[in-house]
Chain A
Amino acid sequence: MQQTYINLLNLAFDETLKADSRVMLFGLGVGDVGAVFGSTANLQSKFGAERVFEIPLSENAVTGMALGLAMQSFRPVMMHQRADFSFTSAEQIINQIAKTSYTSGDFYKVPIVIRMIIGRGWGQGPTHAQSPHAIFSHVPGLRVVAPATPMDGYHLMKQSIASDNPVIFIEHRWLHQTIETFNQNEKVPNFTDAKIMKSGTDLTLISLSYGVIECIKIARVLSEFNLTAEVINLRSIQPWDKRTVLESVGKTQKAVLLDTGHLEFGLTGEVSSTIYSELFGVLSNPILRFGLPMEPTPSSAALAIDHYPTVEKMLGDIKSHFGFKYDLRKAVALFKEKFPYKSNHRDQPDVGVVGPF
């Protein structure tokens, strides 16, 4: 049966709340009519306001509260409708949650999930559209995951809640209405494994979260020109699946990295560094990196178009960087035909994102 990302996340919460009475859900919107974009709908009435509840707008204290609960063997899930608000609780996340297990001589387990939603488009702007995975991945003691599909969301959320380590769960707002067939018998991927979304031999496209969907679009266009791109969905960012990435790049000898965050000191630099170290003599070309420029995300829809790397731009850069012979104008036309935008507004998800994958 086809399910949206939001429905499957709701199902993941429902199943874990039912299976383990120590699981708790809280955050801004969790108990209100919006229900965090629908993802927590019906959970409070089903499991009670003691376990599923709205919070005062005190993210720092509530995050510390989550730690206190975890130290008492509860399994709290704290959420932010925009990742940017989590920075008010950076003290608790970085100084306390990330370090408690280590500092206590491994006595405490810290089974906390902090779900952070990344905004994009419709004027989200400088403080509602940040992708903080690199910031949190820099902190020892935190795990960071970022689903790219509805089934990723379902499995990764259940695995994050089951994890005895604190997990930062990064979720792109543009994934919410994507759909995928819900297959309960699907083999559950390992928590920290990347997933090959599409196999190929000519180049490797590596990304996370919504960037994976853009990479799939690029791969589908390139396939019309007899170029097969392998698309890697990292899923887990900290730790990340070096083996899958190195095996793929070792085979294709060409790597393209696409980050939903900013370019400098981020995911693309980290992954590139490992690829260069391990496959120095194997690469046929330098690695090509895409990400956000080192400026805050603009609110203006007009400015935001140039802020995000578009598929059209990436098709052009990939061609010139690797010296591929495809006709760029034809490639862009194919892209527009295969993935028509719902409207002329480029700052919202186009119909092409709906999958299934």
Chain B
Amino acid sequence: MNIELINLIKEDYDINNSRIQMFINLQLIRSVELLISDRYSDQIFRCPVHLSIGQEAIAVGVSLNLQLEDKVVSTHRSHAHYIAKGGDIFSMLSELIGSPLGCCKGRGGSMHIFDKSVGFMASVPIVGSSLPIATGVALAEKILNSKNIVVAYVGDAALETGAFYESLNLAALKKLPILVILEDNGYSTYSNKEVRWPETKNVRATIEGMGINYESGSGDDVEEIYTQVARITTDVRNNKPSLLHLNTFRRYEHCGPNLDDSMGYRKSEEIESYDARDPLEILKNKMVVSGVIPELLLERLAKHINDYSEEIFAKMLNQNQDFLAQFEMIK
């Protein structure tokens, strides 16, 4: 959770309500990602970005089950993971522009967000390679008897790497407190699974056959994810390594700030199916229907959050004025 934002709005909203918490996180990630998308053409973010739009529910449902001391190892698509873990948006945006004020002093950029102060150990953009590191982070927690767990995010293409299987074997052998979150958006860049996986592939059998607890579910409904992860993390804290396989939808292009609907690698029916899958809309509908919060108030909350993101963005530009001017990266 973003402590700064929570402090700003806690007087006006019931921040202990779990749906409101989920909404705050989803809206915050969405608004930051849309800002990056909007401002990308200004040429200030001079690094590749892999936006999380459409996949935010997973990061939020997972992270609301984590303590500050729990650890996360992420991938190239790290923004949602970082923000949901309580990451500092100013540091992240500064990192994206390559500034010394970034969480890695600008050396990492979007694909290498490291911030151990919130338990965000690393983002590793070489697909599959986050998992070996996560096993070491988890082994350390186990030796120290900390009861902290380690979440390792991977995408579906990680299942095509050797590192994935080597790491799961290690995790099962050493009974590590590790939860692998498999964000299955169906695509490795532009390639769907038909060209990557045999029809007969059985992920459950593969994972369970390696001695890892396997569960699957939807990656769209944040409440479902939250509940499922709550149950699994109890096992993981007792050193039962687990993998949660969630189907999700990457709404934007693989890498970059835009939609890529015109490229044709995703059929139009598939793209249209997203409207019913948008995690933010799903949660909003539930909240309004169940009467947790009146629609107008929810919209006001969304605006608060958007304003907060824009404030941070403006602060980032302001405090990095000299840096940006140095490279003529500001209009």
- Interface set of A (CB-CB < 8 Å, partner B): 50, 56, 58, 60-74, 76, 91-92, 95-96, 100, 102-108
Task: Say whether, besides A58-B166, A60-B166, A72 and B136 are in contact (CB < 8 Å).
Answer: yes
Task: Say whether, besides A58-B170, A102-B107, A69 and B162 are in contact (CB < 8 Å).
Answer: no
Query: What 7 additional pairs, Cβ within 8 angstroms, besides A67-B132, A91-B163, A108-B114?
Result: A60-B132, A64-B136, A68-B136, A71-B136, A96-B129, A105-B104, A107-B104
Secondary structure call for the B interface: helix
Residue pair A103, B107 in contact (C-beta under 8 Å): yes
* Partner of B169 from A56, A74, A100, A102 at Cβ < 8 Å: A56
Residue pair B163, A104 in contact (C-beta under 8 Å): no
Task: Say whether, besides A61-B131, A61-B132, A68-B133, A104 and B114 are in contact (CB < 8 Å).
Answer: yes
Q: Is B134 an interface residue (CB 8 A)?
A: yes
Residue pair B121, A71 in contact (C-beta under 8 Å): yes
Residue pair A92, B132 in contact (C-beta under 8 Å): yes
Residues of A within 8 A of B245 (CB): none
In the bound complex, what is the Cα–Cα distance between A68 and B170 (angstroms)? 13
In the bound complex, what is the Cα–Cα distance between A69 and B176 (angstroms)? 13
In the bound complex, what is the Cα–Cα distance between A329 and B104 (angstroms)? 63
Q: Is B256 an interface residue (CB 8 A)?
A: no
Q: List 15 A-B contacts (CB under 8 A).
A: A56-B173, A58-B166, A60-B132, A61-B167, A61-B169, A67-B136, A68-B121, A68-B137, A69-B136, A72-B141, A72-B144, A74-B143, A96-B129, A105-B107, A105-B108
- Which A residue sits closest to B134, measured CB to CB? A68
Residue pair B108, A65 in contact (C-beta under 8 Å): no
In the bound complex, what is the Cα–Cα distance between A283 and B138 (angstroms)? 56
Task: Say whether, besides A50-B143, A60-B162, A92-B132, A105 and B102 are in contact (CB < 8 Å).
Answer: yes
Residue pair B137, A95 in contact (C-beta under 8 Å): no
Residue pair A96, B124 in contact (C-beta under 8 Å): yes
Task: Say whether, besides A64-B132, A64-B135, A106 and B163 are in contact (CB < 8 Å).
Answer: no
Residues of A within 8 A of B132 (CB): 60-65, 67-68, 92
Task: Say whether, besides A91-B129, A107-B116, A66 and B136 are in contact (CB < 8 Å).
Answer: yes
Residues of B within 8 A of A92 (CB): 129, 132-133
Residues from 64 to 116 in B contacting A, C-beta threshold 8 Å: 73, 102-108, 112, 114, 116
In the bound complex, what is the Cα–Cα distance between A147 and B121 (angstroms)? 34
Residues from 230 to 257 in B contacting A, C-beta threshold 8 Å: none
Residues of B within 8 A of A104 (CB): 104, 107-108, 112, 114, 122
Residues of B within 8 A of A106 (CB): 105
B61 to chain A, nearest CB (A): 24
A305 to chain B, nearest CB (A): 38
B13 to chain A, nearest CB (A): 34
Residues of A within 8 A of B140 (CB): 68-69, 72-74
Q: Which of A50, A100, A103 counts the most B-chain CB atoms under 10 A from its CB?
A: A103
Q: Is B195 an interface residue (CB 8 A)?
A: no
> 7 shortest A-B CB distances, which residue pairs?
A68-B136, A64-B132, A105-B105, A72-B140, A61-B166, A58-B166, A65-B136
Q: Is B3 an interface residue (CB 8 A)?
A: no
Q: Is B139 an interface residue (CB 8 A)?
A: yes
* Partner of B133 from A74, A96, A105 at Cβ < 8 Å: A96
Residues of A within 8 A of B116 (CB): 71, 107-108
Residues of B within 8 A of A108 (CB): 114, 116
Q: Is B126 an interface residue (CB 8 A)?
A: yes
Residues of A within 8 A of B73 (CB): 68
Q: Give the contact-size bracket for chain B.
A: 35 or more
A174 to chain B, nearest CB (A): 32
Residue pair B104, A64 in contact (C-beta under 8 Å): no
Task: Say whether, besides A56-B166, A56-B170, A95-B126, A103 and B104 are in contact (CB < 8 Å).
Answer: yes
Q: Which of A76, A91, A106 counts the most B-chain CB atoms under 10 A from its CB?
A: A91
- Which A residue sits closest to B130, measured CB to CB? A64
A49 to chain B, nearest CB (A): 11
B243 to chain A, nearest CB (A): 15
B183 to chain A, nearest CB (A): 20
Residues of A within 8 A of B131 (CB): 61, 64
In the bound complex, what is the Cα–Cα distance between A106 and B105 (angstroms)? 9
In the bound complex, what is the Cα–Cα distance between A64 and B176 (angstroms)? 15
In the bound complex, what is the Cα–Cα distance between A105 and B114 (angstroms)? 9
Residue pair B139, A65 in contact (C-beta under 8 Å): yes
Q: Which of B124, B126, B131, B141 counts the most A-chain CB atoms under 10 A from its CB?
A: B124
A110 to chain B, nearest CB (A): 11
In the bound complex, what is the Cα–Cα distance between A90 and B140 (angstroms)? 23
In the bound complex, what is the Cα–Cα distance between A354 and B33 (angstroms)? 65
B194 to chain A, nearest CB (A): 27
In the bound complex, what is the Cα–Cα distance between A91 and B166 (angstroms)? 14
- Which B residue sits closest to A51, measured CB to CB? B143
- Which A residue sits closest to B125, measured CB to CB? A95
In the bound complex, what is the Cα–Cα distance between A70 and B122 (angstroms)? 13
Residues of B within 8 A of A61 (CB): 131-132, 135, 163, 166-167, 169-170
Residues of A within 8 A of B107 (CB): 102-105
Task: Say whether, besides A96-B129, A105-B102, A62 and B137 are in contact (CB < 8 Å).
Answer: no
